[in-house]
Structure formats: structure tokens, C-alpha cells
Amino acid sequence: MTSASQSVPLWQRARPLTEAELSSIPWLAPLSAAECERAASSMRAVTAQVGDLLCRIGKAPTYWFGVIDGLLKMSNDSAQGTPITFTGLPPGAWFGEGTLLKREPYRYNIQALRRSTVAGLPIESFHELLDTSLAFNRFVLRQLNERLGQFIAAVEIDRLDDTDSRVARGLAALFHPVLYPGVGQLLRITQQELGYVVGLSRQRVNEALNLLQQRGLIRVEYGGVRVLDLDGLRTALFVLPEDDRPGP
């Protein structure tokens, strides 16, 4: 894409979704035919380039977003202090429902880590489905519950001194089958991108991935990481807490 086209605002690049893109959206299938048709006709897709911001701290929400393809990150405002990445958002991720429910400004930034296709459901269509569709309510409720567990785990990960364990748990979070059903067993991610997500250097991520591969938890493949033992990744701990280490 040329620099001129990159300067065009994201909303001006929006287009209708293709049939293939619509078929990949998990919450459409349980809806009635009429609900599905209304939602599909109101949605738009956009191709975000590396560095594009889809959500910005302080801005009012206008869409409920989902990742069709690519990789995004959710982070704080680095201008106000130490930059913190809260989570990565791989294919299949739908996010921001809490902000839309409260109709409050965003408290985080959402930025593209690579060229990504992102779908958006207008906020009014989102609330209309909440008011009329039991199936949609169940999907959103499950999303909120799973995301709560994810962020509780993220706090635990952030307090781990062992960086190998941090990479393992952070990687496991990106393979969440409910929140990120589009990932499957192979996550398309570079070591640099994973470093952005877990807050470590590419070199340190490389060391951790080699260790995880030696333990049989993952397999590093061309352009991505394949999970072999998801439960093992979720519980990986390579350094014992100080009180549990054997004495001299």
C-alpha cells in the first residue's frame, strides 16, 4: 500500500464483508436468519496496516471489532509512563464489548502489529442485538466471563520473575479456544510480535521458545508457533518460588 493510501483514515477504507469473512464470525451462526442478515448488512471490514490504531484512549466507541486475519495488541498510553501490553488479539478475537456496554471512552489503545483485516459491527447494531437476541446475549456473556479469567491470569503472569514462564503463559493466552477460535493449533506470529505482546526482547523470546520446544510444549514452524501441549503451557513454571527452592 502506498504512503498516500495509508494516510486515508480507516473508516474511509471500510467495505462490506465477503461471504468467506462472514462465515468465519462465530457469533453469527446462532442468530436467527433475520438477525444474521441485519447484522451482516451493517458490518464493515477494513485492512489495517502496521501501526494503525483502531481504538484510541479517550475516544468514544463506534464499533464492536473482530479480527478476521492478522494480529493486534491492546495496550496503555505509553506517553503517560511505562508502556504495558495487556493482551494480543489474534484471528477470531472480538473485543471491546465492555466499553460498548458502558458507552464510555476507550481506556486502552488497539494497534495493528501486522497487516490485519478487522470487522466492525456498529454500536447501535450491537445494542439492538443485545435487546432482541438471546443467542447474542449468551455469546457476549461468555465472552465477558472468559475475558475476566484471562485478565486474572495476566496479572499472575505479570508477577512472574521467570521470563520463560511468562512467555509460556502469554503464548497460551493467544491460543484461547473461546476468545480466539480462529487460531486453531498454529498461531501466525513472529518472535518480534510475541515480544511486543509479552513485553520482552526478541532475543529473550527466542531463548524461551527454544526451551518450550525442548520440553515438547510447542513446535516453532515457519512463520508461526504450533502448540503441542496447551495445558502444559498454561501451567508452565520453570523457576520455583524462593520459599520452595531447596536449601544449600
Determine the pLDDT at residue 246: 40
Q: Which residues pair with 226 in a beta bridge?
A: 186, 219
pLDDT per residue, tens digit, the chain (248 aa), is 444 455 677 778 899 999 999 999 999 999 999 999 999 999 999 999 999 999 999 999 999 999 999 999 998 866 666 677 888 899 999 999 999 999 999 999 999 999 999 999 999 999 999 999 999 999 999 999 998 887 777 777 666 668 888 899 889 989 998 899 888 889 999 999 999 888 889 999 999 999 999 999 999 998 899 999 999 888 876 654 444 444 44
φ, ψ (nearest 5 deg) of residue 20: -65, -40
Answer yes or no: pTM beyond 0.75. Answer: yes
Determine the pLDDT at residue 148: 86
Entry field: residues in the chain: 248
**Domain locations in the chain as residue ranges:** 3-154, 161-244
Q: Same fold for the domain at 3-154 and the one at 161-244?
A: no
Determine the pLDDT at residue 49: 93
Architecture of domain 161-244: Orthogonal Bundle (1.10)
Helix, strand or coil, per DSSP, at residue 84:
coil
CB-CB contact of 191 with 205 (8 Å): yes
Architecture of domain 3-154: Sandwich (2.60)
